[in-house]
A = this chain, B = another copy of it.
Amino acid sequence: MTAPKALAFDVFGTVVDWRSSIIGELEMFGERHGIAEDWAAFADAWRAGYPKAMDRVRTGDLPWLKIDALHRLILDDLLDGVGIGDVPDADVADLNLAWHRLDPWPDSVAGLTQLKRRFTITTLSNGNLSLLTDMAKRAGLPWDCVISAELFHHYKPDREAYLGCADLLDVAPGELMLVAAHPSDLRAARDAGLMTGYVARPLERGPGHPPPRVEDGEFDVVAGDFLELADKLGA
């Protein structure tokens, strides 16, 4: 395998543990407003609404909207669904920004720091740029730059997102490796000509949800975490 010149990271689930973070934020929100709910189920439903909302943008059913706006649409529906309608708007807006405050997996900062010594490292996330910037600032994620699907007005897995990232970095698609915990993202990147690095995140959907099956040799590198990825890439 030729070494890549740059690494682009999927973020939700790959770099940060969205589920634990969102459940924690929802629990605080519930305590503050005296609401008891199954917040783990609520978090899963919030996340589950997100690919559907993005697909409405990808197919043209909705105009371009940032993930912040899509998260808010889903959140408002979920709050209505459980009969929570009297919370002040500012509090709902703040809750929506919980996605800016996700905690990294334990190996993320150390692994990225090691990878950064050898490679240019960037996000390539459907999260909007301010979300990714706020998250990096809070969590100490040492990105060389922050690239979002927002810059292309094309959500992954649209080909434009992968190729747009390579163009901004001035590398050929084959010199850029997407790193992700999601085979579907990696397959779309591979179809666009990128290299692929799979990192398993077995706890992304909580305990008892094993990560997706990956065929031997399907991706260029497979690693258990970012530190192993760094070792395998010689960083």
Contact = CB atoms under 8 A, between A and B. Distances in A.
Interface in A96-155: 116, 120, 122, 128-130, 132-134, 136-137, 143-147, 150-151
B144 A133 contact: yes
Nearest to A148: B168
A120 to B, nearest CB: 6
Tell me if A's interface is mostly helix, strand, loop or mixed: helix
A150 B152 CA distance: 12
A37 interface: no
A50 to B, nearest CB: 18
Return the 3 tightest CB-CB contacts between A and B, nearest first: A130-B170, A145-B146, A133-B145
12 contacts: A120-B133, A120-B134, A122-B133, A129-B145, A129-B147, A129-B169, A130-B170, A133-B144, A136-B144, A146-B146, A150-B168, A151-B151
Given A120-B133, A130-B169, A145-B145, 18 more contacts: A68-B170, A116-B137, A120-B134, A120-B137, A122-B133, A128-B168, A128-B170, A129-B145, A129-B169, A130-B168, A130-B170, A133-B169, A136-B145, A144-B146, A145-B146, A146-B146, A150-B168, A151-B151
